[in-house]
Amino acid sequence: MNVKTVLNFDMMLNLLLFLAFAPSCIHSESEEQLLVGMTLVRNATAYGARCLDGSLPAYHLHRGFGAGANNWILQFEGGGWCNDVSSCLERAKTRRGSTRLMSKLELFSGILSNNASLNPDFYNWNRVKLRYCDGASFSGDSKFDNGTSLLYFRGQKIWEAIIHDLLPKGLASASKALLSGCSAGGLATFLHCDSLTNMLPSNASLKCLSDAGFFLDVRDMSSNYSMRSFYHDLVALQGIEKNLNQNCMRSINQPELYALQYITTPYFILNSAYDVFQFHHSLVPPSADLHGHWNSCKLNPAACDANQIDVLQGMRHDMLAALKSFYKNSTSGGLFINSCFAHCQSESRDTWFAADSPRIHNKTIAEAVGDWYFDRGVTKEIDCAYPCDSTCHNLIPSSPQIHSHPFHVSHHDSNSNPSTLLTPGHNGDRGVVDEASIEVVRRPRGDGQSLSFSSDGGDSTITMVVMVQNIVGPPPSTNLSWVR
Ligand SMILES: *[C@@H]1O[C@H](CO)[C@@H](O)[C@H](O)[C@H]1NC(C)=O
Ligand SMILES: *[C@@H]1O[C@H](CO)[C@@H](O)[C@H](O)[C@H]1NC(C)=O
Ligand SMILES: *[C@@H]1O[C@H](CO)[C@@H](O)[C@H](O)[C@H]1NC(C)=O
Ligand SMILES: *[C@@H]1O[C@H](CO)[C@@H](O)[C@H](O)[C@H]1NC(C)=O
Ligand SMILES: *[C@@H]1O[C@H](CO)[C@@H](O)[C@H](O)[C@H]1NC(C)=O
Ligand SMILES: *[C@@H]1O[C@H](CO)[C@@H](O)[C@H](O)[C@H]1NC(C)=O
Ligand SMILES: *[C@@H]1O[C@H](CO)[C@@H](O)[C@H](O)[C@H]1NC(C)=O
Ligand SMILES: *[C@@H]1O[C@H](CO)[C@@H](O)[C@H](O)[C@H]1NC(C)=O
């Protein structure tokens, strides 16, 4: 591969960042939960839209009402990527690659809640969750067929088919819209933000919210760009390049370039500076920590030694540096970069808008996003460095494991018995647990530079440790004088 191509990939990769093992829906209270049924897109094959396994794509729609009846939230489901044929074949047999295997009921929480006291600005909008079954952030457009194995890489077509299905259901007369998503869905949000503008009425106002979708192009602990390599493979496998921002692709001068500046629709970046997915997979992927020196630090920041904390502060530094231009110069953008160990904070009531939700300057994420969307006030918030923030919910998935027992989620927090187990049944009958995402790392490749990720809802093990507050650690070592 020539250098120019590599740079092209880099740019997109940067924007393109990774996935969504969203440990997003841990609920401590047992109040009413909104479960919304699945709608299959029957006409999808007319658009060439299929999930990895060939099944029909799907979404879940909960209707808006009252003043929100003409407003729409479209939210991309997250869930990682598959970057080679074998991992995609595996994925096609799971809920991440087939709507046949998905929960038919989805929990609508956080930004998708219909309860005004839990979701004050968007509760009465039409709210749609776009199910993720293509393995490439709704952006692929190719197919693998060697006679015995068949895989559809049609994420871009799925996106288009779902929008076309929604247009006659009221989207065609939307007055306000918000495109959102977390992790792989947060990346999809960046990728499709501008294209949605062209599909909505010209007088509609559209903004985009990417949650945990800003993936840094960082070197891992073994000095390799593991994630860059992963995205490179993903783009090549799924035929994504033609669907990327062409202005970004044409500008090949800077290897460090992120695609953000090429997105013209107003967007909001919600991310943790210590995003646990990036910590565990970009910064310290298993291939870069063969002896497991990071295992306890990954599970609990209070167990990190001073050098490890320095590395984590370096990740925050890199993230803030990458966002500096956006922070300083974007007039339409919003930002909420907190210092919690988390990944996905908009889809759970606990982190979105609860009395004890994470805050910056005493503002919850729901308030920050709402203030930005409705032009009510300050739109950019950056947290002080770990460990200063006492409002964090640190949501940390364990290191990936490959096993085949029923998965369980251990729920530890400061108020409850640390051994409370939430055991799921089949997909969908326990929405809370079904939302806990599962990751399986398969087959480190021969060159050791990238990993295949896949995930499923039924047969893997994940331990999710939820630690609330009281995290301690040494003070930050980086000097970010431009931050508060
Ligand atoms: C199905 O998709 C085709 C191709 O775009 C379109 O012409 C047709 O109107 C669609 N039919 C329905 C019922 O949506
Ligand atoms: C909305 O949420 C509040 C706060 O949790 C709760 O008291 C109320 O019962 C909820 N309303 C509905 C209709 O679920
Ligand atoms: C097709 O690809 C699959 C997965 O790589 C492989 O297992 C299979 O042997 C291939 N079939 C042929 C006919 O090459
Ligand atoms: C957009 O224009 C249409 C047609 O003129 C009108 O019915 C609708 O109310 C307008 N919407 C907004 C948000 O201005
Ligand atoms: C902000 O924009 C100005 C004018 O284009 C530019 O000179 C400056 O370097 C930018 N600041 C950052 C942090 O990118
Ligand atoms: C923080 O906001 C809450 C309402 O969300 C308010 O009750 C409280 O007084 C605020 N605290 C400070 C220190 O401003
Ligand atoms: C890192 O990259 C070097 C040079 O390309 C390679 O030799 C090494 O195996 C890689 N290590 C890992 C853990 O990927
Ligand atoms: C941080 O950087 C600023 C400006 O670069 C400098 O004025 C300040 O003294 C530095 N602070 C520390 C603690 O190094």
Choosing from 98, 183, 210, 357, which is the catalytic residue?
Answer: 183
Note whether residue 398 is domain-resident: no
Closest protein CA for atom 2 of ligand 4: 203
The stretch 421-428 carries a mean pLDDT of 27
More confident residue, 143 or 409: 143
412 located within any domain: no
Report the sign of the C-alpha dihedral through residues 374, 377, 379, 383, in that order: negative
Ligand 7 pocket residue status of 449, Cβ below 6 Å: yes
Q: State the Cα angle at 444 between 233 and 20, rounded to 5°.
A: 65
Q: Is residue 450 part of a domain?
A: no
448, pLDDT greater than 70? no
pLDDT at 259: 84
Distance between CA atoms of 263 and 97, rounded to whole angstroms? 28
Q: How far is CA 40 from CA 50, 100, 205, 218, 298, in A?
A: 11, 10, 27, 38, 39
User: Which pLDDT belongs to residue 289?
Assistant: 96
Residue range 103-124: average pLDDT?
97
Pocket test for ligand 4, best of 71, 125, 175, 176 (most atoms within 8 A of CB): 175
CA of 139 to the centre of ligand 4 (A): 30
Given a contact cutoff of 8 angstroms between Cβ atoms, the answer to whether 102 and 426 are in contact is no
CATH number of the domain within which 243 lies: 3.40.50
How many separate domains does the chain show?
Answer: 1
User: Cis omega before residue 424 (within 30°)?
Assistant: no
Ligand 1 within 6 A of CB of 46 = yes
In a domain, 288, yes or no: yes
**Each residue of 409-419: b (16+ CB within 10 Å) or e?**
bebebeeeeee
Atom of ligand 4 nearest to the CA of 175: 13
Rounded to an integer, the average pLDDT of 251-269 is 80
What residue has token string 């409850």?
Answer: 416
Q: Is the pLDDT of residue 444 over 80?
A: no
Residue 53 annotated as catalytic: no
CB 430: neighbour CB atoms within 10 A?
A: 17
Catalytic annotation on 275?
A: yes
Bridge partners (DSSP) listed for residue 390: none
Q: Check if 343 is active-site.
A: yes
The parent domain of residue 196 ranges over 3-387
- Both tokens of 166, joined, read 């929604």
Q: How confident is the model at residue 463 (pLDDT cuts 50, 70, 90)?
A: very low
AA identity, residue 15? L
- How far apart CA 441 and CA 455 sit, in angstroms, is 8
Q: Which ligand is nearest to the CA of 477?
A: 8
- For residues 182 and 477, which has the higher predicted lDDT (pLDDT)? 182
Do the domain assignments include residue 12? Answer: yes
Q: Could you tell me if residue 212 is inside a domain? A: yes
Show Cβ contacts of residue 271 under 8 Å, excluding neighbours closer than 6 positions. Answer: 210, 211, 212, 213, 214, 319, 336, 337
Q: Is 324 in the pocket of ligand 5 (CB under 6 A)?
A: yes
Q: State which ligand 1 atom lies nearest to the alpha carbon of 168.
A: 14
- Give yes or no for residue 460 having a pLDDT over 50: no
Beta-carbon contacts of residue 481 (< 8 Å; ≥ 6 apart)? none
In 17-132, where does DSSP find H-type helix?
A: 85-92
25-35 mean pLDDT: 61
Are 458 and 405 in contact by the 8 Å Cβ rule? The answer is: no
Q: Is the predicted pLDDT of residue 103 greater than 70, yes or no?
A: yes
Spatial CA neighbour of 35 closest among 408, 352, 429: 429
Q: Which of 356, 387, 392 is nearest to 467 (CA)?
A: 392
Q: Give yes or no for residue 484 having a pLDDT over 50.
A: no
Q: Which segment of 162-171, 284-293, 438-447 scores lowest on mean pLDDT? A: 438-447
Predicted confidence at residue 250, as pLDDT, reads 80
What's the chain's average pLDDT?
A: 79
Q: How much of the chain is helix, strand and coil, in % rounded to 5?
A: 30, 20, 50
Residue 350 lies in a domain: yes
Does the residue 481 lie in any domain? no
- Asked if 116 and 124 touch (Cβ cutoff 8 Å), the reply is yes
- Cα end-to-end distance, the chain, whole Å: 43
Q: What band does 14 get if pLDDT is binned at 50, 70 and 90?
A: very low
| Best mutation site among 43, 56, 158 for ligand 1 pocket (most ligand atoms within 8 Å of CB) | 43
Residue 31 binned pLDDT confidence (cut-offs 50, 70, 90): low
Q: DSSP class of residue 279? A: I
Nearest ligand atom owner, CA of 163: 1
Q: What is the pLDDT of residues 348-394, one digit of tens each?
A: 999 999 999 999 999 999 999 999 999 998 889 999 999 999 999 87
